[in-house]
Amino acid sequence: MTQIKACCESIARSGFGTLQISDAMLQDYKKIVDGYSAISQATKESFSFALDTDGFFPFGAEYSGIEDQPDLCERFCYWPVHASKRMAFDFTRSTFFAAVDSFERQISELAKELMDGVCGEFGVSPLAPFRSASYVQLCVYGAQTTGCVRRFAQDPHEDGHMLSFIKPTREGLVLVKGSSLEPVRLLEGEIAVLAGSLLTELSDHAIPAAYHAVLAPLKPVARSSLIYFANPNPEQLLTSFYRRQSIDLNSTVNARHTGFGNQPIHSL
């Protein structure tokens, strides 16, 4: 059994799986998580596009269901659909940006292959390419966020996407299963794959969304997490996996996106 097949079966069964990433992706990942600290505050402020949820966002700009308990991190978001609008900025010629662009191209291909496999588990046709509706997000939890009274740096939630690919630099990511917390532990070359609420709806609730959170560290320590959020192509007419009924997820995509404190996605 290939690792893709095994991951597809695990997602179909439990909403969670793991995958190996290539050496090239791992190198891009390291350039991204290691390179963030060298980016100036001036660059972060100039390369921020709130209406597109693109570029840099300051500490506490997003939340996971509770508006007055923001996620304890800074963010960088990269949507390939907006890349052509940013080329006048010097930052797009940086090593960091090049690594993000390279990682996104590779993870989008991996995501498409995996989603095709998940569809195969249910005997339905593959989805249309969804790269233009999907994006990369880097969450940076600085050491200064420790020592707070909160248990979570990111409160328990399910992602409002089809699939989330998550690779953190250290421990903290947990699956929330009832009253228990199950730590997600990954090898250096592994990435976690979590089903989101859109995939639950598309599968007629056969696939559970992976409820998860990020624990606040007990000691002052920096932590980063690189994520790829896969959303369905807004132009595709979707059919649910079991009932074979037409399902329009566009409004749901926007509701989930804005529910985390983001601006609406313009194309939806």
- Find the domain containing 180 and state its range: 3-258
Residue 71 counted as domain residue: yes
How distant, in Å, are the alpha carbons of 72, 180, 218, 221 from that of 151? 11, 14, 9, 15
SS3 content of the chain, % helix, strand, coil (to 5): 35, 25, 40
Residue 156 counted as domain residue: yes
Query: Going by C-beta distance under 8 Å and a sequence separation of 6 or more, which residues neighbour residue 231?
Result: 130, 133, 134, 161, 162, 198, 253
Task: From first to last of the 268 residues of the chain, give the pLDDT tens digit.
Answer: 699 999 999 999 999 999 999 999 999 999 999 999 999 999 999 999 999 999 999 887 777 777 777 778 899 999 999 999 999 999 999 999 999 999 999 999 999 999 999 999 999 999 999 999 999 999 999 875 445 678 888 889 999 999 999 999 999 999 999 989 999 999 999 999 999 999 999 999 999 999 999 998 888 889 999 999 999 999 999 999 999 999 988 888 888 888 777 887 865 4
Residue 266 counted as domain residue: no
Residue 264 counted as domain residue: no
Number of domains in the chain: 1
Residue 207 to residue 112: CA distance in whole angstroms: 17
CATH no. for residue 10? 2.60.120.330
Residue 267 counted as domain residue: no
Residue 268 counted as domain residue: no
pTM for this prediction: 0.94
